[in-house]
Amino acid sequence: DADVTQTPRNRITKTGKRIMLECSQTKGHDRMYWYRQDPGLGLRLIYYSFDVKDINKGEISDGYSVSRQAQAKFSLSLESAIPNQTALYFCATSDLWGNTGELFFGEGSRLTVL
């Protein structure tokens, strides 16, 4: 099983619908992140969380919200999806107390908003 699991892997929805992307990890890491990837723009940070009580906005948080339900779970919500939120979304984790800072990525969730 993957260390960082994202569900769903693919989702097609309509404008105005509420969407939740879920992420769970078995690495025991404190830090979790949500990125979106768009062609030519690379990965842009949406939100990040350094522990269960800590939530921080990233570069492009407008239109998104997150919930850190537990150390191992970090969900991304689109309250009212719009077409320009069509993208590939990645969840990632890293170890707060380690000395690597390396991010471990899930396999991505492809979201299409019609």
Partner 1 sequence: AQSVTQPDIHITVSEGASLELRCNYSYGATPYLFWYVQSPGQGLQLLLKYFSGDTLVQGIKGFEAEFKRSQSSFNLRKPSVHWSDAAEYFCAVGAWNNDMRFGAGTRLTVKP
The nearest distance, CB 49 to partner 1, in angstroms, is 10
**HSE-up of residue 58 (Cα within 13 Å, Cβ side):** 19
User: Residue 3: what residue type?
Assistant: D
Region binding partner 1 by CB under 8 A among candidate stretches 14-22, 67-75, 79-87, 104-112: 104-112
Q: Which residues are CB-neighbours of 66 under 8 A, at least 6 positions away? A: 34, 46, 47, 49, 55, 74, 75, 76, 77
Which of 1, 42, 62, 84 forms a contact with partner 1 (CB under 8 A)?
A: 42
Pick the closest to residue 85 from 24, 14, 25, 27 (CA basis). 14
- Confirm or reject binding of residue 64 to partner 1 (CB under 8 A): no
Region binding partner 1 by CB under 8 A among candidate stretches 18-26, 65-73, 76-84, 98-106: 98-106
CB closer to partner 1 out of 17 and 45: 45
User: Residue 4: what residue type?
Assistant: V
Region binding partner 1 by CB under 8 A among candidate stretches 13-21, 22-30, 36-44, 72-80: 36-44
